Structure 1
Amino acid sequence: MRTFLFLSILALLHAYVAARLGSFLERRFLAWLIVGTSFLLLVGSQFAYRHFGFEPDAYGLQYVSFLAYFLAGVLATLICVFLPLDILYLIGSGLRRVFGISNTERWVSLFWTVRLTLVGLAFFGALVGLVTVLVGPKVKQVRVVHAGLPADLEGFRIVQITDLHVGPTVVRQDVQRVVDLVNEQAPDLIAFTGDLADGFVGQLARHTEPLSGLRAKYGIYAVTGNHEYYWGAPEWIARMEAFGMKVLNDAHAVIAVGSAKLLIGGVPDTQADRFLPEHVSDPVKSIADAPAGVGFKLLLAHRPSSVFRAAEAGYDLQLSGHTHGGQFIPWSFFVPFAHPYTRGLSQHGSLQIYVSTGTQYWGPPNRLGIPGEITVLTLSARPE
């Protein structure tokens, strides 16, 4: 039933864009052919991927999926173009009737010019976003200032990766590129904040294998995101641990850095208990029985919404992902309505939270205005 509802909504969205694009271009058959093909490619490729368990690059599936998701991204942008224009057109038509204003040729021409410009920008933006994806994630340097930071933690470097989404279009070479970039940063600690994959462990074993090459002086710590639970969380947790990651499930670890102690806590995704009842996300529980004398408390939590309980628990810094910063314009403008923090470093009471835009992408290969990132967070007691 849920699948039927999803497919129905997806089909209606495609039909809406086809109708509006056909009306606009005055080539209705061509518009319906292109959009209909896009719909069939998307549904067909993902059905084959999920239900037959094909690897992403089997039978050229990766390229079909890439094209399907690219077109889906264009469609998502066109929805953001057509809906506001249709609403404005309806409002304008109503006002003209109320005030008896004729539908002049000048206004009709202006409306179509605006529409043409926005549709052109939608396609151009999708291409720019695609190029940003192909270039790959950038390394972003972030200085985290914490008054009273122990001297032995001054300059401590945490490299955060998140939202890799290895799957239909993110494959082995993309993962290897991330691993190489992370290791080049010579991290003291690596933090992975969830959404490793979109696929089953056996399906993606070869494509996730490069993660075993990650190296950090004080270890690699990880938590689950929501997507692990869609594809078998216990198997993915075991896989992450096989890579050398310590997966924290409402738990913490304490490491000694010189004479200082650094606590790393972690919680599962806030919706994890819908799939595994024992995976209840609780930042307060994660820090229970922590030893005295800890100089800095770091929480790994996939969703920024964990920040409220993290502040109650007394953490100093929370690292999160999940939002992708909206992933691409114009959707980046809507994300702040759904999450308390969407990207970058923010202050929440005495707690700081850093939300990554994600290392890779999910769905459409589009990063217009919101590039992916590998984040190097450097701890310091001194403002710049």
Structure 2
Amino acid sequence: MLADMSVGEAVETRPRRRGRAGFGGLLVVVLGLLFGVPWVTLVWSGNQWPTGVFVAGTVVFVLVPAVFPVLMFRGHGSHRDDRAARIADTTLGVIWVLFTWSVLGQVLGLVLLAAGVHDPVRSRVVSVVVVLVALVLLLWGYAEAMRVSRVRRVDVTIDRLGAGLDGLKVVLITDTHYGPIDRAKWSRGVTEVVNSLAPDVVAHTGDIADGEVDQRREMAAPLGDIRASMARVYVTGNHEYMSGAQGWVEHMSALGWDALHNRHILVSRGGDSLVVAGVDDRTAAGSGVPGHHADHEAALAGADPGLPVLLLAHQPQMIAGAVAHGADLQLSGHTHGGQIWPFHYLVRTDQPSLQGLSRHSERTQLYTSRGTGFWGPPFRVFAPSEITLLTLRRPA
């Protein structure tokens, strides 16, 4: 028996070791590129810096990537060390911006070379421009991330909308990501803006927080003060499934929101009704949380098929289910509009929409919010956050 167990454990261990080795190798390559390209541009290249500057710069670009994974795993792993997470997240944002503009700086270097500018002047000009651009974007991006989101107003025409619901105001907030940075004051500001819009329906399409309810309770508390004349509705995002999803579903219910855990409600006015349905995030099925999975049929079970359907689903990629089940409008978040340019190119490889209103069948439209908060790096570069006021209209 012991021999059999040892052989079985050895067989299972080898794939795990290979998986860890593969992940470790990928991590080294990614960090090598993210930190290596700025090092080449700012320190090595043809700058011909004094020896002390070269050595100091090289030490920084070696030590930071060595410590970065430790801080990231400690901050976002089981330890939930908010201080480590803040340092790691900020570092990630800074190095992404430096990497992007170091790559673009090489183009500037070629232009200067063609103009007859030689090293070290050429490389030093490139270095100074890259640092200045990165600094301006990071300061601006931080201010954009930390400010209370602007209101984005969108009219959406729904063919099947009854006359009594014409002009219905739906406010969408999403991806609040209450996390390592204390944003309780910001959260109260969002609530004030939402209430100032006098909404009929308020929808939160997930990724409330990075952390369990007990960790983020104070930041989430202002959600309980949001007012809507007809309904406040919520669905889970992928980050809930790393942060105690069922706890957040129960907490939102305790705050007075309808947690649309694969179910729907009706809102009615002037003799006309709208089905407001929600499904769990597409990552729910693999999360191990009992009873959580995206189920459009359950969400719409018993609904009158003649009524228009407003569907909440965290990720735009879930639009296929909305089309298949005849939803009129899906509200989503998740993409953050890319958050830090040019990350949006990577987002588009996974999602059918980055931001805004799009049509996906004769009946079904999708609205994708850039998000109300931010994840990880406290920066938003060319991707401003939003609180969205969607006004539902009948055809002219």
TM-score bucket of the superposed structures, by smaller chain: 0.7 to 0.9
For residue 91 of structure 2, give the secondary structure of its aligned residue in structure 1.
helix
For residue 378 of structure 2, give the secondary structure of its aligned residue in structure 1.
coil
Note closer, same or farther for the CA distance 1:353–1:267 as it changes in structure 2 (3 Å cut): same
Counterparts of residues 16-55 of structure 1 (less than 5 Å):
16-26=33-43, 27-35=53-61, 36-37=63-64, 40=67, 43-44=70-71, 47=74, 51-52=78-79
Measure how far apart 1:293 and its partner are. Answer: 4.5
* 1:358 to 2:371 alignment: yes
Paired residue type of 2:388: T
Note closer, same or farther for the CA distance 1:31–1:18 as it changes in structure 2 (3 Å cut): farther
- Aligned partners of 1:143 and 1:127: how far apart in 2? 33
Q: What does residue 181 of structure 1 align with?
A: 193
Measure how far apart 1:288 and its partner are. Answer: 2.5
* 1:281 to 2:301 alignment: no
Structure 1 residue corresponding to 2:382, chosen from 363, 369, 384: 369
Q: What does residue 280 of structure 2 align with?
A: 268
1:267-302 C-alpha deviation (Å, 9 max, x unpaired): 0011111013632213244213212542x2100000
Q: What does residue 378 of structure 1 align with?
A: 391
Q: Structure 1 length as normaliser, TM-score?
A: 0.83
Note closer, same or farther for the CA distance 1:219–1:104 as it changes in structure 2 (3 Å cut): closer
Structure 2 residue corresponding to 1:74, chosen from 80, 87, 94: 94
Measure how far apart 1:107 and its partner are. Answer: 7.1
Paired residue type of 1:344: G
Paired residue type of 2:223: L
Measure how far apart 1:3 and its partner are. Answer: 8.3
- Aligned partners of 2:26 and 2:183: how far apart in 1? 29
RMSD: 3.1
Assess if the C-alpha contact under 8 Å between 1:18 and 1:31 holds in 2.
no
Measure how far apart 1:115 and its partner are. Answer: 5.9
1:295-348 C-alpha deviation (Å, 9 max, x unpaired): x21000000011111011111100000011101212123322221111001111
Q: What does residue 143 of structure 2 align with?
A: 131
Unaligned runs of 5+ in 2: 1-15, 44-52
Assess if the C-alpha contact under 8 Å between 2:357 and 2:366 holds in 1.
yes
Measure how far apart 1:133 and its partner are. Answer: 1.6
Note closer, same or farther for the CA distance 1:234–1:148 as it changes in structure 2 (3 Å cut): closer
Measure how far apart 1:378 and its partner are. Answer: 0.4
Counterparts of residues 223-234 of structure 1 (less than 5 Å):
223-234=235-246
1:103-157 C-alpha deviation (Å, 9 max, x unpaired): 9975767677556534532332222211212323111111111234211111100
Assess if the C-alpha contact under 8 Å between 1:179 and 1:214 holds in 2.
yes
Note closer, same or farther for the CA distance 1:141–1:39 as it changes in structure 2 (3 Å cut): farther
Assess if the C-alpha contact under 8 Å between 2:233 and 2:260 holds in 1.
yes
Report the more deviating stretch, 248-257 or 16-25.
16-25
Q: What does residue 100 of structure 1 align with?
A: none
Report the more deviating stretch, 114-123 or 38-47.
38-47
For residue 79 of structure 1, give the secondary structure of its aligned residue in structure 2.
helix
Assess if the C-alpha contact under 8 Å between 1:145 and 1:379 holds in 2.
yes
Report the more deviating stretch, 262-271 or 116-125.
116-125
- Aligned partners of 1:170 and 1:309: how far apart in 2? 36
Q: What does residue 162 of structure 2 align with?
A: 150
- Aligned partners of 2:76 and 2:295: how far apart in 1? 34
For residue 307 of structure 1, give the secondary structure of its aligned residue in structure 2.
helix
For residue 254 of structure 1, give the secondary structure of its aligned residue in structure 2.
strand
Report the more deviating stretch, 173-182 or 35-44.
35-44
Measure how far apart 1:208 and its partner are. Answer: 1.5
Assess if the C-alpha contact under 8 Å between 1:160 and 1:190 holds in 2.
yes
For residue 348 of structure 2, give the secondary structure of its aligned residue in structure 1.
helix
- Identity of aligned pairs, percent? 33
For residue 341 of structure 2, give the secondary structure of its aligned residue in structure 1.
coil
1:7-26 C-alpha deviation (Å, 9 max, x unpaired): 77556544444444344333
Note closer, same or farther for the CA distance 1:185–1:236 as it changes in structure 2 (3 Å cut): same
Measure how far apart 1:232 and its partner are. Answer: 1.2
Paired residue type of 1:24: T
- Aligned partners of 2:372 and 2:323: how far apart in 1? 26
Q: What does residue 96 of structure 1 align with?
A: none
Paired residue type of 1:69: D
- Aligned partners of 1:86 and 1:366: how far apart in 2? 24
Report the more deviating stretch, 22-31 or 129-138.
22-31
- Aligned partners of 1:182 and 1:340: how far apart in 2? 28
* Equivalences, count: 364
- Aligned partners of 2:215 and 2:198: how far apart in 1? 31
Measure how far apart 1:262 and its partner are. Answer: 0.8
Q: What does residue 176 of structure 2 align with?
A: 164
1:35-56 C-alpha deviation (Å, 9 max, x unpaired): 43476477437626754556x5
- Aligned partners of 1:231 and 1:206: how far apart in 2? 16
For residue 146 of structure 2, give the secondary structure of its aligned residue in structure 1.
helix
Unaligned runs of 5+ in 1: 93-102
Q: What does residue 99 of structure 1 align with?
A: none
For residue 151 of structure 2, give the secondary structure of its aligned residue in structure 1.
strand
Q: What does residue 98 of structure 1 align with?
A: none
Paired residue type of 1:31: G
Note closer, same or farther for the CA distance 1:87–1:105 as it changes in structure 2 (3 Å cut): closer
Report the more deviating stretch, 33-42 or 17-26.
33-42
